[in-house]
Structure 1
Amino acid sequence: MTMDVPIFPILINPTFTILDHQQWIGRLAYIFFGIILPPSIPKFYLSTRTDSGQIIEEVLMPVDTTDLFNELCVVEDQESLLIVLKRWANRYSIFDLVQAQGFTAKELKNLHPPSYIKELSWKHSEWLIATIKEIRSAHLQKRETMNLEEYYDFIERIRENLIKAEDRVERDAQTLYSLCAAYHLFITKTPMHMVGTPFPGGFKVQKIGEEYFCPVKEKQKDVPEALCKFCVAKQLKI
């Protein structure tokens, strides 16, 4: 019999630092997933303790983002897309999510004020973990025709972004976010940013009735790197 060695402490009234942010990811993952899954980043180890007290460490292999992207490229309909998304979502560990959030934290560090960074980072973390959890248990309620022309336009945009990635951390983070975006855009037909996500000026993504509204849809939809043009959200009247 073995038992997992605790990795993340439970925090009370945390101050927001990069370290605490990663710990909060761990706490959220425990709340959402119930367990902390085996890590899949080479620098991390799965540590278990035997009844005799011996600690056994096993190096775990990383998620292969190239294989994931290749599978996304041969999708034919919603059913085949969801099969790919579920298979890969089950392979991501909390450490993959922390690594992706570390990349996001660096991307956000020059924004102002600090309170906005904190709110945006928290909402992004909530979105990422909730989306991965949802994909893992998802089932098609009804099969809808998928716009394959739009989907492969989406895939081409992802490919262009991955080519521009400066290192593996950025490439892996973008692949993970693309997986989540594909689920929202082509399976649930919901915005890539969850309701309540803040944007500069105090505006947030909103749901009014059955429609979604984003404060930056028109501004971002033609940005080459953005995926906003694929989003179901409409422009929020400001």
Structure 2
Amino acid sequence: MTMDVPIFPILINPTFTILDHQQWIGRLAYIFFGIILPPSIPKFYLSTRTDSGQIIEEVLMPVDTTDLFNELCVVEDQESLLIVLKRWANRYSIFDLVQAQGFTAKELKNLHPPSYIKELSWKHSEWLIATIKEIRSAHLQKRETMNLEEYYDFIERIRENLIKAEDRVERDAQTLYSLCAAYHLFITKTPVHMVGTPFPGGFKVQKIGEEYFCPVKEKQKDVPEALCKFCVAKQLKI
């Protein structure tokens, strides 16, 4: 079966130029080899026929976001949370990650200047790949008491964001990012955005000593869609 692979250049070409099919596969294989790429890439298709008779095949995400969210809703402690995160992180394929990055590309395309888009795109890609890789091999070094009230407040925030999703692609991307955020917030106790993530004005997330600082913590913590209120980072003095 011939497969027209969707092109999401953000992951490998932040200037958003369209890549040739073989270039796309080659670069992805290079980036993911030994990290995310499974022994055999599962093929999930949705075939639709246009009015002209052309058959269009869409690669579907093999992860059922509803099931993942439901499992996150019954977590009782760090151990049960990590079990859920590890199981689902291992189910995400290279195509899932690229599709999520395609959603992010659309979200970032209207930002300025282009150099900021490029830097933020690469940092986001680095964050996503590194987090999934880390979750897959993670083990609790020590069991800490998890603030379940805060955790379920976080879950409610995720639920509200998923309800607002305009389509399946956005919902799937939001679920994947929520999985990664849950790992950082409640397992490693690290910021949602990795150190070095840029924000407008030239400021970045920083780690000073053992503490993390974010340039937009105070500004964003009350934004309904944001996860900043749950983040361990403190406001960076600017």
Change beyond 3 A, Cα 1:79–1:11 = closer
Cα offsets for 1:82-119 (capped at 9, x unmatched): 00000000000111010000000000010000000000
Instruction: Measure how far apart 1:74 and its partner are.
Output: 0.1
Cα offsets for 1:124-174 (capped at 9, x unmatched): 000000000000000000000000000000000000000000000000000
Tell me if structure 1 keeps the 8 A contact 2:72–2:84: yes
Q: Tell me which moved more, 27-36 or 39-48.
A: 39-48
Cα offsets for 1:175-208 (capped at 9, x unmatched): 0000000000000000010000000000000000
Change beyond 3 A, Cα 1:197–1:19 = farther
- The alignment partner of 2:10 has SS state of coil
Tell me if structure 2 keeps the 8 A contact 1:2–1:49: no
Cα offsets for 1:29-50 (capped at 9, x unmatched): 7445516635999976799999
Instruction: Measure how far apart 1:17 and its partner are.
Output: 2.9
- The alignment partner of 1:56 has SS state of strand
Q: Any stretches of 5+ residues in structure 2 without a counterpart?
A: none
- The alignment partner of 2:128 has SS state of helix
Tell me if structure 1 keeps the 8 A contact 2:185–2:231: yes
Give the total of aligned pairs.
238
- TM-score (norm: length of structure 2): 0.82
Change beyond 3 A, Cα 1:18–1:196 = farther
Tell me if structure 1 keeps the 8 A contact 2:78–2:145: yes
Matched with 2:118 is 118
Tell me if structure 1 keeps the 8 A contact 2:78–2:187: yes
Q: Tell me which moved more, 213-222 or 28-37.
A: 28-37
Matched with 1:207 is 207
- TM-score (norm: length of structure 1): 0.82
Instruction: Measure how far apart 1:56 and its partner are.
Output: 19
Tell me how far apart the structure 2 counterparts of residues 221 and 21 of structure 1 sit (CA, whole Å). 41
Change beyond 3 A, Cα 1:20–1:217 = farther
Tell me how far apart the structure 2 counterparts of residues 224 and 21 of structure 1 sit (CA, whole Å). 39
- The alignment partner of 1:85 has SS state of helix
- The alignment partner of 2:155 has SS state of helix
Matched with 1:17 is 17
- Identical amino acids, percent of aligned pairs: 100
Change beyond 3 A, Cα 1:197–1:115 = same
Instruction: Measure how far apart 1:123 and its partner are.
Output: 0.2
Change beyond 3 A, Cα 1:207–1:164 = same
Matched with 2:79 is 79
1:92 maps onto 2:92 in alignment = yes
Change beyond 3 A, Cα 1:5–1:68 = closer
- The alignment partner of 1:212 has SS state of strand
Q: Any stretches of 5+ residues in structure 1 without a counterpart?
A: none
Instruction: Measure how far apart 1:62 and its partner are.
Output: 1.6
Change beyond 3 A, Cα 1:48–1:106 = closer
Instruction: Measure how far apart 1:66 and its partner are.
Output: 0.1
Change beyond 3 A, Cα 1:18–1:78 = farther
Change beyond 3 A, Cα 1:26–1:36 = farther
Tell me if structure 2 keeps the 8 A contact 1:28–1:129: no
Instruction: Measure how far apart 1:27 and its partner are.
Output: 4.2
Tell me if structure 2 keeps the 8 A contact 1:3–1:50: no
Cα offsets for 1:61-90 (capped at 9, x unmatched): 721000000000000000000000000000
- The alignment partner of 1:159 has SS state of helix
Tell me if structure 2 keeps the 8 A contact 1:32–1:133: no
Q: Tell me which moved more, 168-177 or 47-56.
A: 47-56
